Amino acid sequence: MNQIAYDNTTPQGTRTIEYIPQGVCSRLIKIEVDTNKTIVNVAYFMGCSGNTQGIGALVKGMKVEEAIKRLEGIRCGQKSTSCPDQLAQALKNFL
């Protein structure tokens, strides 16, 4: 199943996707990445507000590959994934 609900690139080259995460409380992740593959903004919709805002603030300005490396595989309790892991999965669309 394609988990990208929206994909657009501006004339300046900034690409925005809206990703539908699986197996977590969050229902949508909106991600903006510039032409240098640097994360410009991340916004989660639903989920644990403080935690998801924190994730977005921490990865802002980070290279996509570095964020994937740091976040992939993080689990939430007994779940096989987490909001950070789902962001890593979404960021793979920018590679």
Tens of pLDDT, residues 36-88:
999 999 999 999 999 999 999 999 999 999 999 999 999 999 999 999 999 99
Question: What is the band of 24 on the pLDDT scale with cuts at 50, 70, 90?
Answer: very high
The answer to whether the CB of 55 falls within 8 A of the CB of 47 is no
Helix (H), strand (E) at residue 9: strand 4-9
Number of domains in the chain: 1
Using pLDDT thresholds of 50, 70 and 90, give the confidence band for residue 2: low
Q: What are phi and psi of 37, to 5 degrees?
A: 60, 40
Q: Token pair 């920018």 is at which residue?
A: 94
User: Domain range for residue 89?
Assistant: 4-94
